[in-house]
Amino acid sequence: MKMLNHVIQYYESRQTTQSHEHSVYQWVYVHEGSGIISTEDGGFLLLTGQLVYIPAYVSHEFIALKNSCLSLIFSGQDVATPPIQSIGLLASHTLWTQLMAYLRHNQPHLTQALWQHYDAILLDQLARFTPLQGYRLSSGCVDLRLLNVIESLSHSVSIKTSLASVSQQSGASERTLNRLFAEQLNTTYQAFRYQLVMQKAQQAYEQGESVTNIAFDLGYKSLSAFSRAFLDYQKSMKPC
């Protein structure tokens, strides 16, 4: 019996699934594209490279903001209950990304024996992931100007990435972007940038990068300033 059921699903821009729930646990990985997972508690923004966990019997629907490719991973009946109790993002890393890319392109050619092997690897990785802070949406949609900024930052960000520079790329004024961050994500540009920078720092740290290299790659001129910020972030991620 397979421990996991892995489905590659493609969605066209603006395609929406009906609200539904599953009797098993589910993980959703975004190979490319972006979208919103909506629950009774509101919307949850998903971007390329992100992994989200959905508990059993949680009603949800997905709205594709762009043409998207997702991995939908469902647990088997014998899989232990994950320790996470609510829907949310999980911190993935390079090994997971590489594994997802391989399975995406080679899934039709894998034998049952190979699937059992990869099932064991996937389960081991999923058990290691920790929650990440995600962004709840105040409505079920995202302004395309804000979405362009978010996707740009998710691909390349440093602590020096200014609102003025992303404003020029998006075609929206700084004032408009500040308003959109506040109205749709309930945050500020600076706080959103900081969160992405710290997430990238955490991923690099888990891959064995030196703190010095991480600091300068993310635009910090002072190693001590980065160390303080990173330590505060790590403390904030620990469960109470």
**DSSP characters for 212-229?**
HHHHHHTT-S-HHHHHHH
Place of tokens 């955490």: 202
> CB-hemisphere CA count at 13 Å for 81?
8
Instruction: Name the phi and psi angles at 108, rounded to 5.
Output: -65, -20
Structure tokens at 84: 């996470």
Does the structure show a pLDDT above 60 at 205?
yes
- Candidates 148, 187, 181, 182; CA nearest to 165 is 148
In 3-state terms, what secondary structure has residue 133? coil
Structure tokens at 136: 């709840």
Does the structure show a pLDDT above 50 at 240?
no
pLDDT in tens, 77-101: 667 667 677 888 887 777 888 899 8
Per-chain mean pLDDT for the chain: 86
pLDDT in tens, 15-29: 999 999 999 999 999
